[in-house]
Amino acid sequence: MNVILFGPPGVGKGTQGEKLATEVGSQHLAMGDILRAAVSQGTEAGVAAKAYMDAGKLVPDELVVAMIEDRIIADEGRSFLLDGFPRNVSQAESLDRMLALHGLSIERIVFMDAPEQNLLDRLCGRLICKACGFGFHRHYSPPRNSGVCDRCGGELYQRDDDREEVIAHRLEVYREQTAPLLDFYKGKDGFRCIDASGEMHVVYDALKEAVEG
């Protein structure tokens, strides 16, 4: 089953998406992770994307559409969970064209939402492992040893765009460019909406029910 997860920054797309994809055996295609990997590898796309990401702006559509298409067709037989793509109506239209071209379809589109105060608390406290990319939170899911990844022992860091002033801009970009996707997807088959303001396990149960129900 192919799934789209969308919602505001910090709502839990990455945390829940990775868990669900692992459980059902799908590939977790997280646009932000794909872009951050391109930046750290210094690829042409990564170099072009970096300034947009640091400023909390969307990377140009043509760049992200090409990157996600590469990933989808690289493993065409395998189901996927898209997290952070599409992020505006034009990307959603490109995705529809791309799926039609490859004879693929999306079975569930899940919108995750939470009040802004939850989003701010989550983003300000997020910590990520430099080595394996696993996410922690200073208060809500702290590592056993401060600054060290439980999974691999890697060093934890704060994302450059998780500074307060950049977070405010990302939320503004979300309201202006990504929120209109709700109207685009609302009437489509497979559209579901979940409350992502609760504790992680509660949100995960709601997500599973939305995807499987």
Range in contact with Zn ion (rule: CB under 5 A) among 17-25, 58-66, 141-149, 162-170: 141-149
| Dihedral of the alpha carbons of 10, 13, 18, 20, in degrees to the nearest 10 | 140
**149 touches Zn ion (CB under 5 A):** yes
What's the rounded Cα separation, in Å, for the pair 50 and 176? 21
Choose the contact partner of 46 out of ligand AP5, Zn ion, none; CB within 5 to 8 A by kind.
none
Identify the active-site residue in 19, 159, 192, 208. 159
* Residue 170 is among the residues annotated as catalytic for this protein: yes
Q: What are phi and psi of 116, to 5 degrees?
A: -60, -35
* Residue 126 is among the residues annotated as catalytic for this protein: yes
Return all residues near 182 (Cβ < 8 A) that are at least 6 apart: 111
Number of amino acids touching Zn ion (CB under 5 A): 8
Query: Whole-number minimum distance, CB 53 to ligand AP5, in Å?
Result: 4
Query: Whole-number minimum distance, CB 154 to ligand AP5, in Å?
Result: 16
Task: Return the residue of 129, 203, 207, 210 that touches Zn ion, per CB under 5 A.
Answer: 129
- Give the footprint of ligand AP5 on this chain (CB under 6 A): 9-15, 31-32, 35, 52-53, 56-59, 64, 84-85, 87, 91, 122-123, 126, 135-137, 140-141, 161, 170, 199-200, 203
* Residue 138 is among the residues annotated as catalytic for this protein: no
Choose the contact partner of 152 out of Zn ion, ligand AP5, none; CB within 5 to 8 A by kind.
Zn ion
| Dihedral of the alpha carbons of 22, 28, 32, 36, in degrees to the nearest 10 | 80
Identify the active-site residue in 13, 50, 108, 122. 13
What's the rounded Cα separation, in Å, for the pair 169 and 22? 31
Choose the contact partner of 12 out of ligand AP5, Zn ion, none; CB within 5 to 8 A by kind.
ligand AP5
Range in contact with Zn ion (rule: CB under 5 A) among 8-16, 31-39, 122-130, 178-186: 122-130
| 3-class SS of residue 34 | helix
* Residue 78 is among the residues annotated as catalytic for this protein: no
Q: Which residues are annotated as a binding site for AMP?
A: 36, 57-59, 84-87, 91, 159, 170
Tell me which residue of 102, 133, 120 sits closest to 170, measured CA to CA: 120
| β-strands 191-195, 135-137 pairing | unpaired
What's the rounded Cα separation, in Å, for the pair 141 and 129? 13
The 3-state secondary structure of 85-134 reads: CCCCHHHHHHHHHHHHHCCCCCCEEEEEECCHHHHHHHHHCEEEECCCCC
Residues carrying an active site annotation: 13, 87, 126, 159, 170
